[in-house]
């Protein structure tokens, strides 16, 4: 299997698998920061869909933060990996401590990336959730739960690369799961990218600002709408 050059390249490849969602007014693309934002930026641009973020935080095992024991998302969403908790005998108090720490970081990122901008309305819409890859799927499962609680009409998980186990887990939870690469053995998401350098807060803000600016430019101005209405012939009563 070939590797992706970087996240932007991966996003363009992923967009090709989602062409059926292009130019649909009900579609919104939500990126999981930070690494999912460059991928989702290319997906949203290719599909002509609005881009926003859904902040989700992994709950790392105490002493081994790279190993996920669950994840949290906005709206008090908490998804736990019960098998990991049982195997490592992790107590509830340790979980609560991790949740509290990650909740603070979740709120910080929400403020840093969105500012005063309202969260996107997803009720009744098709939501495409994008990240740069799935290893265990814990964070994505929390994201799926979050948008389902907001009454999304359809939830699509889309990633450039995923382990088979994670792909199958999110496929069971979402309406659809799309992955460009599903290797026999993942080993690590970063191994499938030539450049997997960390995505910083500044890059996230820049890409979101650019996407929001483009979306605003495509909206008809109030004056144009009024002019179009005035030019439309009235109905004869």
DSSP per residue over 123-170, as a string?
BTSEEEEE-S-BSS-HHHHHHHHHHHHTTBSEEEEEEEEB-HHHHHHH
108-156 pLDDT, tens digit each: 999 999 888 888 899 999 999 999 999 989 899 999 999 999 999 999 9
- With 90 as the cut, is the pLDDT of residue 96 above it? yes
- With 50 as the cut, is the pLDDT of residue 107 above it? yes
Q: Which domains, ranges and CATH numbers included, belong to the chain?
A: 7-231 (3.40.50.2020)
- With 70 as the cut, is the pLDDT of residue 49 above it? yes
Q: Is the model more confident about 224 or about 165? A: 165
CA distance 227 to 167: 50
Residue percentage of the chain with pLDDT more than 70: 92
Identify any residues that bridge with 126 across adjacent strands, giving them in sequence order: 27, 154
9-19 pLDDT, tens digit each: 999 999 999 99
Give the position of tokens 């009900």: 26
CA distance 126 to 25: 9
Least confident of 83-87, 190-194, 204-208, 226-230: 226-230
Q: In the prediction, which pLDDT does 219 show?
A: 65
Q: Locate 162 and state its tokens.
A: 């995923």
Q: In the prediction, which pLDDT does 136 show?
A: 86
Q: How confident is the model at residue 220 (pLDDT cuts 50, 70, 90)?
A: low
């Amino acid at each position: 299997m070939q590797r992706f050059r970087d996240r932007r390249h991966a996003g363009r490849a992923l967009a090709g698998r989602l062409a059926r969602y292009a130019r649909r007014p009900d579609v919104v693309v939500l990126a999981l920061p930070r690494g999912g934002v460059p991928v989702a930026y290319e997906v949203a641009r290719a599909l002509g869909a609005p881009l926003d973020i859904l902040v989700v935080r992994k709950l790392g095992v105490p002493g081994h933060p790279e190993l996920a024991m669950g994840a949290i998302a906005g709206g008090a969403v908490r998804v736990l990996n019960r098998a990991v908790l049982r195997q490592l005998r992790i107590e509830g108090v340790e979980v609560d401590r991790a949740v509290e720490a990650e909740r603070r970081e979740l709120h910080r990122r929400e403020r840093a990336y969105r500012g005063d901008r309202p969260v996107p309305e997803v009720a009744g819409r098709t939501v495409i959730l994008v990240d740069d890859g799935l290893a265990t799927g814990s964070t994505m499962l929390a994201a799926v739960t979050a948008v389902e609680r907001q009454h999304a009409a359809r939830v699509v998980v889309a990633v450039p690369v995923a382990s088979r186990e994670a792909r199958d887990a999110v496929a069971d939870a979402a309406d659809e799961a799309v992955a460009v690469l599903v290797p026999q053995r993942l080993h690590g998401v970063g191994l499938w990218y030539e450049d997997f350098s960390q995505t910083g807060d500044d890059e996230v803000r820049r890409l979101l600002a650019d996407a929001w600016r483009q979306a605003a430019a495509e909206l008809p101005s109030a004056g144009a709408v009024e002019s179009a209405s005035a030019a439309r012939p009235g109905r004869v009563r």
